[in-house]
């Protein structure tokens, strides 16, 4: 009888653990890896913006990234696995521009310094910090967006 009770307890425990385990149907499991290679994304500016160059990032092969940050250019490599991202190996030029361009650049460099994951949805490409808080959402690049 003791062996029967032990076996019954073991089977019950296994069933309980199986019922509590993830089946892969949750929202996080449904997220597909983001493919960045060959894509260009820009900061969405209000229609009344007076800009010469819209801040943007272009992702190339081998995790290469280039872009305009508002005033300065950026180029280098990112660490990226389809969700997690780090802009640790990206260099920028160091010129000074007018305040409005430097303000845009500050937003881009803050996002690049603090982004840890990305999410792609109908709103665009959202960069999130280490706590999962949105830092910035970029939209697909459009030619002559500031004209």
Global pTM?
0.75
Q: Is 43 exposed, middle or buried (0-12, 13-18, 19+ CB in 10 A)?
A: buried
Residue-range domain boundaries for the chain: 35-140
Over residues 101-124, the pLDDT tens digits come to 999 999 999 999 999 999 999 999
Give the gyration radius of the chain's Cα atoms.
23
CATH code of the domain occupying 35-140: 2.40.128.270
- What the block records as the tokens of 48 is 């009344």
Q: Are the C-beta atoms of 76 and 89 separated by less than 8 Å?
A: yes
Comparing CA positions, the residue from 134, 120, 133, 25 lying closest to residue 80 is 120
Handedness of CA 96, 56, 106, 110 (dihedral sign): negative
Over residues 64-96, the pLDDT tens digits come to 999 999 999 999 999 999 999 999 999 999 999
Q: What length is written for the chain? A: 147
């Amino acid at each position: 009888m003791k062996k029967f009770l032990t076996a019954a307890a073991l089977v019950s425990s296994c069933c309980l653990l199986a019922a509590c385990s993830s089946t892969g149907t949750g929202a996080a499991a449904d997220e597909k890896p983001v493919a960045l290679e060959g894509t260009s994304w820009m900061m969405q500016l209000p229609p009344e913006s007076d800009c010469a160059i819209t801040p943007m990032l272009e992702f190339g092969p081998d995790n290469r990234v280039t872009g305009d940050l508002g005033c300065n250019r950026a180029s280098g490599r990112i660490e990226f696995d389809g969700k997690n991202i780090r802009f640790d190996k990206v260099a920028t030029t160091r010129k000074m521009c007018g305040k409005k361009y430097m303000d845009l650049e500050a937003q881009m460099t803050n996002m690049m310094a603090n982004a840890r994951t990305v999410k792609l949805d109908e709103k665009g490409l959202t960069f999130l910090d280490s706590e999962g808080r949105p830092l910035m959402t970029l939209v697909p690049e459009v030619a002559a967006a500031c004209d």
